[in-house]
Amino acid sequence: MSNEAITASPKHSGTGVDYDAIIVGAGFSGLGMLHHLNELGLRSRVFEAGTGVGGTWYWNRYPGARTDSEFYYYSFSFSREIRDSWKWSERYPAQPEVLQYLEFVAEKLDLKKDISFNTKITRAEYDETRNIWHVTTAQGEVFTARWFVSGMGVLSAPSTPKIKGIESFKGQVFQTATWPKEGVDLSGKRVGLIGVGASGVQIVPVIAPVVKDLFVFQRTPNYVVASSNYKVEDDWMAKIRTNYDEIHKQAVAHGFAVPFRKPAVGARDVSAIERERVFEEGWKEGGFHFMLETFNDLATNEESNGYASDFIRRKIRETVKDPVKAELLCPKDYPFNGKRPPGGHGYYEAFNRENVHLVDIRANGIDEVTETGVRVGERHVEIDVLIFATGFDAMTGTLTRIDIVGRDGLVLRDKWKDGLKTNMGLAVNGFPNFFMILGPQTPYANLPVAIQEAVGWVSRAIHYAEKNGIVCMESSVEAEDAWALEVHRAGSATIMAQGGSAHAWFLGANIPGKPREFNVYMGGADIYFRRCEEIASNGFRGFHEGVLATA
Ligand code: NAP
């Protein structure tokens, strides 16, 4: 997708509606979308449940929350003013800084005037007779618009498992995804943590030195890749500023939407000594560099993946001094990449502290929560605070937890109950003039780059429709059938297909009862972006049936 400037010339058919476009969510997606639609000259309104902008970065305020991507590709590159005036302070920015960045974006692009905060959307219904959307807030107000866009986020509908006895617990209970704004004083407390995904992995080393005891209830161990964090010095920031366009271009040409070198060889194609050298170098560089810049087949070839999995297990055993804890922390029954690997900042090291206890719940899970703690088999662990870091109903949760009602009363969650159908994760048949920024079946990738591409594409689509008098943009059935097949084909060819036993969210396997299928496109963000560009250049083929009426 190109980020070409779009000349503002839409014909408004806006009489009788409150807005040209309604967008839900004021995170990266909603802010980017609003800015682009403002540039088109549309009257848009964003509805946001929180009291401020930020989305994920507004809600996830747990100690240790920070990006797993480096700052220079975890930001928007479309605004020169923002690029030139914002300075990042850390290689992996912490939550408060990303939130400040998004506030800065909203300020600089003058977006807040078009956002209603504290306003949760509960229902959106397409009105076929008028070809508009009626959008209902939790307060019961109804607003109308010609275009309806979801920017509700991919990992934004928290999932809290129902554990027997939880309501009887007399201590405090928190969820990482809805951490209190005012913070939580955990000093001197006995804390239980359920969940060792990216969220749990980040919170452990930060709270371990503060709490009296930390009990980590682990069901499935993760492959946590070291991330070395450091300050962004002025000269690095200056260099990034002059190269933002090139960085974005490189990211768009990469399968994971990051501006990384693409390795030329597979792990099984080199000698054992060379393999170790490359893995070691990637490990030092840290985070996604290990996963993406060492060898080109870690996500596709079992043998090569096995070398990477072994390497990480060796690192765990070298780091964690207690051999029993080390073995428990080593994932053994699913491969590296079978779950989204989190970046660690002293995670394994934290288990060398005497006050950090690992409670293995692999065999039977947690039996019950009591008034004073957690019972696992014969063992009762006394705690004061229980933290859930138990993930999200990913990709679809935000869209299916509210009522999105399309043509003929079709509800989106019903449409998807037996399997996902979308056109490129951007639109859905039966839901005219509705777009999703990062809907299900969009790429498994670094999100800000994917979002920047998606908001650019959707604004081009809307502009195209308005310019050509297309009043109904609706995906064709054929296009979404073809995309569902491609998502399945691409995902099945990867190691990620083995993530089911590890409850990977990208397979929907972390939510009981959710259909087990690829919720994201594993075929490569670069390929996806090229396909989107091709569709746009060909008159948004597959996204409308032509000029149905003039506006
Ligand atoms: P997650 O990766 O889905 O991990 C959830 C954890 O909760 C797992 O360890 C899971 O165990 C455990 N769990 C769930 N239900 C349980 C139960 N009934 N009993 C015991 N344990 C249970 O969730 P997440 O850590 O929030 O991360 C989700 C995604 O959000 C990440 O993969 C990443 O894409 C994104 N994220 C990114 C960052 C970042 O970039 N810095 C930070 C946080 C999150 P099982 O594995 O056994 O199911």
For the stretch 168-209, pLDDT in tens is 999 999 999 999 999 999 999 999 999 999 999 999 999 999
- Determine the Cα angle at 289 with ends 337 and 340, to 5°: 25
Q: Three-state SS string across 203-236, please? A: HHHHHCCCCCEEEEEECCCCCCEECCCCECCHHH
Cα–ligand 1 centroid distance for 108 (angstroms) = 34
Residue-level pLDDT at 75:
95
Amino acid, res. 48: E
Residue-level pLDDT at 545:
81
- Report the alpha-carbon distance of residue 433 to residue 184 in Å, rounded: 43
Question: What's the sign of the alpha-carbon dihedral 64, 69, 70, 71?
Answer: negative
Has residue 547 got a pLDDT over 70?
Answer: no
Cα–ligand 1 centroid distance for 199 (angstroms) = 6
Provide the 3-class DSSP secondary structure of residue 441.
Answer: coil
For 451-485, the pLDDT digits (tens) are: 999 999 999 999 999 999 999 999 999 999 999 99
Mean pLDDT of the region 218-236: 97
Residue-level pLDDT at 58:
98
Residue pointed to by tokens 């997708």: 1
For 531-541, the pLDDT digits (tens) are: 999 999 999 99
304-318 in b/e burial notation, b at 16+ Cβ within 10 A?
Answer: bbbbbbebbbebbee
Mean pLDDT of the region 210-224: 98
**379-382/373-376 β-pairing:** antiparallel
Atom of ligand 1 nearest to the CA of 510: 48
Cα–ligand 1 centroid distance for 53 (angstroms) = 24
Residue-level pLDDT at 312:
98
pTM tops 0.85, yes or no = yes
**Structural contact between residues 328 and 360, judged by C-beta atoms closer than 8 angstroms:** yes
Cα–ligand 1 centroid distance for 474 (angstroms) = 34
Atom of ligand 1 nearest to the CA of 390: 7
Question: What's the sign of the alpha-carbon dihedral 3, 153, 204, 102?
Answer: positive
Residue-level pLDDT at 13:
46
Q: Which two tokens stand for residue 152?
A: 């509700």
Instruction: Enumerate residues lining ligand 1, CB below 6 A.
Output: 66-68, 155, 161, 194-200, 202, 219-220, 340, 361, 365-366, 389-392, 502-503, 505, 510
Cα–ligand 1 centroid distance for 505 (angstroms) = 8
For 370-411, the pLDDT digits (tens) are: 999 999 999 999 999 999 999 999 999 999 999 999 999 999
Question: What's the sign of the alpha-carbon dihedral 66, 72, 74, 80?
Answer: positive
**Structural contact between residues 393 and 159, judged by C-beta atoms closer than 8 angstroms:** yes
- As a whole number, the mean pLDDT across the chain is 95
Strands (E), 44-100: 44-47
Residue-level pLDDT at 12:
43
Atom of ligand 1 nearest to the CA of 161: 18
Q: Whose CA is nearest to atom 34 of ligand 1?
A: 340
Atom of ligand 1 nearest to the CA of 503: 48
